[in-house]
Chain A
């Protein structure tokens, strides 16, 4: 038993401790318990006293980038409204730490066939997840431990100080490298969910695409070739912060059997595996693999080449230049404030936004497409059905979840199941029905009987 079934999570005790604080907060019940499904199919809610935005389901790498950026715009619009209402500036940081040892994640969820054995999945992904931080890390000016700041210093990832287990179901305490939460929000006989809690919140769209794209392709390779062997780290939990805090940027690690390797070599193994196993015929996949390979090459030659793509490099170089210009010492807390400012979603103040405006970051998504993604879901996933029901018939929506939507019809409830809605032709058929519908009653054809 790996914790797939538990009576309650450890977070429940923490939540109980916060009840008294919450009772004294100047927030309405609706604000504290806010949980919304948006017209773009996303979920936006209050999670442990911070806003959490979950993108709608995406099938392409470009859509996940657009939807992620649309989420930034939505959250910032809410912050601006709250600023106006309160008469005080409200700032939102898309990051993973408060520099006092309190971390919060940027989770990824991948839908996988149930037929993939858990051991194959967990063992195959461990070294990949520990080492992908060399391109997916968001960078952090500080070393932390749980519930405490420990020391100044730069490391390449925000979350790597906060993992102490190899596998478990927990997400808030004693976090695991491999999280076992398996709520597929789909037909559980056919699908499993791979819940990744070890990633940073990226500001760079390039880094978001590379992080999610490379992970998706490695998972696909595991499904297609489950018997292929992958590197096994001697001590994954020690390797995670060691890689993150290695200021030589050589990222040396020990493999099982005391063999020495590097994070770069391990990533090259997975890249080669993807090339050998996956169908890379589409331009999007070809571009992803090419960008992955180029990033690894550049990191090996001179990591500073990646300042136009990778968050940790962009942040490090920018802050270094500021340090040099202003004579800021290495242990000055100002560096942590600048680190925070890199993650501001406010385009007028955010440092990453400033880099984009200066034209120095690669693959910035077209803003018109981002604006469209604020109100429209990806067209090729079940998110279109959920989002368009909310967009067209919000007043009639009784319940909107990942796996179903229930609406109020003139003769009773209409429940549309999304549980098995993954085949493109089925998504299209449902979508056409919704686009034709004038009232919820017109959805009878796709509702459960």
Chain B
């Protein structure tokens, strides 16, 4: 595995609001993504490790 030095971390997940400089109260309607979360659980966690492409244009 390549070096995974922590450089830029995303703001932490904050579905109900967060601390620090991150977003607080959601100003937007949260869509119903339950079905989509099921689809996401089927994603192979190692898929990106295996995926390779040649540099392209």
* Residues of A that sit less than 8 Å from B by CB: 11, 14, 18, 47-50, 52, 93, 97-100, 102-105, 107, 141, 143, 147-155, 171-173, 197, 245, 247-248, 301-305, 307-308, 316, 318, 320-326, 330-334, 336-341, 349, 351, 354-355, 358-360
The B28-57 residues at the A interface (CB cut-off 8 A) are: 28, 31-33, 35-37, 39-49, 51-57
* Nearest CB of chain A from residue B3's CB, rounded to whole Å: 7
- A99-B48, A301-B27, A321-B15 are known contacts. Are A330 and B9 too (CB-CB below 8 A)? yes
Which residues of chain A come closer than 8 Å to B7, judged between CB atoms? 143, 150-151, 153, 245
Chain B: how many interface residues by the 8 Å CB criterion?
43
Which residue of B is nearest A179, CB measured? B57
Determine which residue in B12, B49, B56 has the highest number of CB atoms from chain A within 10 A of its CB, and name it.
B56
- A152-B4, A321-B13 are known contacts. Are A354 and B35 too (CB-CB below 8 A)? yes
Which residues of chain A come closer than 8 Å to B12, judged between CB atoms? 330
* Nearest CB of chain A from residue B1's CB, rounded to whole Å: 8
- Is B47 touching A337 in the complex (CB atoms < 8 A)? yes
Please name the 6 residue pairs, one residue from A and one from B, whose CB atoms are nearest each other, closest first.
A104-B56, A336-B48, A154-B10, A360-B31, A151-B7, A153-B8
Which residues of chain B come closer than 8 Å to A150, judged between CB atoms? 2-3, 5, 7
Among A48, A149, A351, A360, which residue has its beta carbon within 8 angstroms of that of B2? Answer: A149
Among B8, B9, B10, B44, which residue has its beta carbon within 8 angstroms of that of A316? Answer: B10
* A-B pair number, CB within 8 angstroms: 164
* Residues of B that sit less than 8 Å from A by CB: 2-15, 21, 23, 26-28, 31-33, 35-37, 39-49, 51-57
Which residues of chain A come closer than 8 Å to B23, judged between CB atoms? 302-304
Which residues of chain A come closer than 8 Å to B6, judged between CB atoms? 151-153, 331
* Nearest CB of chain A from residue B56's CB, rounded to whole Å: 3
Among A11, A307, A359, which residue has its beta carbon within 8 angstroms of that of B57? Answer: A11
In the bound complex, CA of A99 to CA of B4 (Å): 12
